Structure 1
Amino acid sequence: MSDPATPHKKGYRATRHDTAAWKLFLVYDIFMMFIIIVNLVCLCANAFLISNFAAWFFDQIHLTSVLTYYKTDLHPWVIKTESWFITFLVFELLIRWLISIIHKHHRRWFFFPFIHWYEVLAIIPYLRFLRLIRAAIIGYRLHELGYQVIPESIKNKILFYYNVVMEELSDRVVITVIDGIRHELNTSSSHKKIIHNLVDHHRDLFAKAVAELLQESLATELKVQQRYIADNVGEIVKKAIEDTPQLTQLLRLIPIAGSMIENQIQSIGQHLGENITLGLIEPLTQGTVQQPNAIYHLVSEKVSNLNIENQTLEELVESAVYESLESLRKQVKIKQWQLVLDKNDQAKE
């Protein structure tokens, strides 16, 4: 049953765990979990004992009298107690529904049977196994409250096998979807349009990524190498002036001051090359990864708006799509539960 709650506000209910009503509900939950488990154990035992296999088995161990006693004296009581238990579940469900209406546990009075659908269906004899869901929910709630209902080792095993089942189911679904996409791309005449739409849909994101990469890598490296590049350009300009024979010959015609003027021109050219290089590099080093500068924005927009109506580029995009699907398929096929088993086995060794 639901925990008793204090008056709610804006649809939320605060539950106090120190009240007598809450403790009463806690005892009731434990009682319900116990009788559900006992009921299901009795029904499973009854199903076995009235089966043909049980008749053969007891005949083999020469205890047919015990089986006969069960069928004549105990089996009718099992059927009768099951009828009583179903009647109890019906009244118990109706009472809890009435309590939920009085305390407004749900937004609408008729939500209760839909939220507790497994309890409604569990009343039907052929769907008795759904009673396990309620027992499991009660056990989980008690576990959340700090009560160790299920031993840790058993709980871990249950969670492990639950994860195995869910992983196998999800893997089959994902692999089927991936194979369907690949088949559609291979057989459909419109697969190029699909790929183009995929590229067009991600152009803005691609432009943003390119701008951030340029800012993070190119701008950072330019800032580090800025002085080195400027010095090299200055040396190149100086070397170019030295290797200009017409200028050297002209300056040598000037007596005495010719060589001095030549040195000054080389020095000026070197500094001019350095300053021009620094001036060209400086705008490329500005900005941050979060806000790349305007130049990188412009470059990224031009790159992202490239026309992919090109055979080589189309093949590149198709190859990237197919390899992405194959990589995803390989990753999905990896059995995580097997890795957990291997890890546990290694830990035991």
Structure 2
Amino acid sequence: MKQNRSIPKSKYHRVDPQSLSFKLYLIYDTFMVFLIIFNLFCLAANFFLMSNIGGWFLNSIQLDEALNFYRTHLHPWVITTEAWFILFLITELFVRWVIAVIYRHHRRWFFFPFIHWYEILAIIPQLRFLRLFRAGIIVFRLHELGYNVIPESIQKRAKFYYRVIMEELSDRVVITVLDGVKHELNTSSTHRKIIHDLVDHHRTLFAQALAELLQESLAAELQQRQTLIAQNIGAIVNQAIEDTPELTQLLRLIPIVGGRIEHQIQSIGQRLGENITYGILEPLVSGSPEQPNHTYKLIAEKVSELNIDNEALEQLVESAVYESLDAIRKQVKVKQWLEDLEELDQAKE
């Protein structure tokens, strides 16, 4: 059994890894693992040999004398050993409970039987399989301490099959729930109310998200193009003055300075248009995504308060809900473990 250099924290955090107590705990846990596995192996072999299937199998391979010897001499010994082992488990559990109370391993003295419920149930003959659960916990505890009790290849394979089982179970549950929701929406006469309630419940969140979106996209774009927009508005005002013949004719009646005044008016108009544009855009580019400006908040609130009692809008919301359910169902049906297995096979090739 190989040991890693670093020992992570575990239930032994109260014990010095170099102390004799720690080593005794380690030896005892290792001993219990082998003892439990050996006990369950003997019980499983006894169950098989005492069954009709076991008798037929040994008779078919001409080991009936060995079977008779086991049933006559060894079977009573296995039953007696099981009784002594149960007595040992009861005594061992009581001693550990006393030690846990003395050293305050738990906040209350009566917590121990609830935390170690599987050990108490494993004493019952009909629930012997829970002893294997305890052995697994001890093995996991040793693994946490840095001892590679289980080879890494077996660990990876066990984790893979665990993921396969959990993914298949969770996928079945999720798909069943999604199909139930979709069936309810298709058959229920109250699905419109459900959708309306869903929209109403998220109006505030929608308004907040819309305000942040406007601040991030529209405000940034306006700020980037603010100078260009102002120049274009100024040019439009300038062109509007040029396209006003009454003003041109009036200024030409003024001798000498008429043309100069016309040029100044055009320049002032262009400048005025640019300044007005800057003034209009300034409130729209202020603020931040965390604190959108008042204008965007007001727009978002008004949009979120729209009445959805509209057939086209209801169809849009229903379509979004159904497509969302279908997209989730499609994603859930993807077998991630199968893709991982294919990648592993390709890597081996």
Q: Given the superposition, is the C-alpha separation of residues 16 and 205 from structure 1 closer, same or farther in structure 2, using an over 3 Å criterion? A: farther
2:62 is equivalent to residue 58 of structure 1? no
Identity of aligned residues (%): 66
Contact 2:15 2:21 in 1 (8 A): no
1:230-245 paired onto structure 2 within 5 Å: 230-245=230-245
Asked if 1:274 is matched to 2:274, the reply is yes
Deviation digits for residues 110-147 of structure 1 (CA, Å, limit 9, x no counterpart): 32222211111111222111111111111111111111
Counterpart-to-counterpart distance in 2, 1:4 and 1:338: 39
Q: Any idea what the Cα deviations from partners look like across 1:235-276, whole Å, max 9, x if unmatched?
A: 111112222222222223333322222222211111111111
Whichever residue aligns with residue 182 of structure 1, its letter is K
Q: What are the equivalent positions in structure 2 for 1:154-233 lying under 5 Å apart?
A: 154-233=154-233
Instruction: Quote the Cα distance in structure 2 between the aligned partners of 1:153 and 1:75.
Output: 37
Match of 1:42 in 2: 42
Residue identity in the other structure for 2:45: A
- TM-score, normalisation: structure 1: 0.91
Change (3 A) 1:3 1:301: closer
Contact 1:211–1:299 (Cα < 8 Å) also in 2: yes
Match of 1:26 in 2: 26
- 1:27 to partner: Cα distance: 1.5
Q: So what's the TM-score if we normalise by structure 2? A: 0.91
Q: For 1:219 and 1:307, locate their aligned partners in 2 and report how far apart those are by CA, in whole Å.
A: 27
Task: Name the CA distance, whole Å, in 2 between partners of 1:193 and 1:306.
Answer: 16
What is the root-mean-square deviation of aligned Cα atoms in Å?
2.0
Name the stretch that deviates more: 91-100 or 52-61: 52-61
Q: CA deviation at 1:107?
A: 3.0
CA 1:151–1:4 in 2, change beyond 3 Å: closer, same or farther? closer
Amino acid paired to 2:232: N
Query: Hey, what's the Cα distance between the residues in 2 that align with 1:288 and 1:300?
Result: 15
C-alpha displacement of 1:31: 0.9
Q: Shift in Å at residue 279 of structure 1?
A: 1.1
Give runs of aligned pairs for residues 1-349 of structure 1, distance below 5 A. 3=11, 14-349=14-349
Is the 8 Å Cα contact of residues 210 and 300 (structure 1) preserved in structure 2? yes
Distance across 1 between alignment mates of 2:294 and 2:30: 67
Partners of 2:11 and 2:66 in 1: CA distance: 45
Deviation at 1:3, TM superposition (A): 5.0
Tell me which amino acid in the other structure corresponds to 1:325. Answer: L
3-state SS of 1:109 partner: coil
| Offset at residue 154 of structure 1 (A) | 0.5
Deviates more, 1:181-190 or 1:135-144: 181-190
Kept after mapping to 1: 8 A contact 2:211/2:296:
yes
Say which is worse superposed, 135-144 or 18-27, in terms of deviation: 18-27
Q: Is there any run of 5+ residues in structure 1 with no aligned partner, and where?
A: 6-13
Q: Give, in angstroms, the shift of residue 36 of structure 1.
A: 0.8
1:293-326 deviation digits (Å, cap 9, x = unpaired): 1111111111122222222222222222222222
Cα deviations by residue, 1:56-110 (Å, 9 ceiling, x for unpaired): 3333333333333333332322222222211211111122222223333233333
Q: Distance in 2 between matches of 1:166 and 1:114?
A: 27
